[in-house]
Structure 1
Amino acid sequence: MADNRVVQGRMVTPKKLAELVEGESVMDAEPIEDTDRDCPDCGSDVISVGYMPSVTEFVTGYKCQDCDWSERDA
């Protein structure tokens, strides 16, 4: 499985995807995964990435591949 995915027309790495969700740089990110969720805004596919915004925190971020929607679960 490829590490990078196309999000809103741009190829992104797991770390870049995490930064899109977080809004700032992150320390580390796990491989991007598909979810069985649809975007609540546009109905497109949602992907997820686990990442560490800091040494003591692990977050799962969710991002629509086609629009600006995202959310995070700490």
Structure 2
Amino acid sequence: MADNRVVQGRMVTPESLAELIEDDDIMDAEAIDDADRSCPDCGGDVLSVGYMPGITEFVTGFKCQDCDWSETDRDD
């Protein structure tokens, strides 16, 4: 499994994907994975990444590869 993926025409690392979702710096990120779901906005493929925005929190973030849509598991 490759660590880097293409999102909206740009190559992203797990860290840069998490920062896109969080819209802020993050501490650490796990490998990018396929979320096995489609984007609710455009129907594109969705990626997931687990990351730590701070020392006491772990979040799973989801980001469409084709449009601006993203969410985290804490949005529920």
TM bucket normalised to smaller: over 0.9
Unaligned runs of 5+ in 1: none
RMSD: 0.5
- Structure 1 stretches of at least 4 aligned residues deviating more than 6 Å after TM superposition: none
TM-score, length-scaled by structure 2:
0.96
Q: Which residue in the other structure is 1:67 paired with?
A: 67
Deviation string for 1:7-35 (max 9, x for gaps)?
00000000000000000000000000001
Aligned length: 74
Specify the alignment match of 1:13 in structure 2: 13
Query: Over residues 47-71 of structure 1, what are the superposed CA-to-partner deviations in whole Å (9 max), with x where a residue is unaligned?
Result: 0000000000000000000000000
Between the aligned residues of both structures, percent identity stands at 76
Q: Structure 2: 5+ residue runs without aligned partners?
A: none
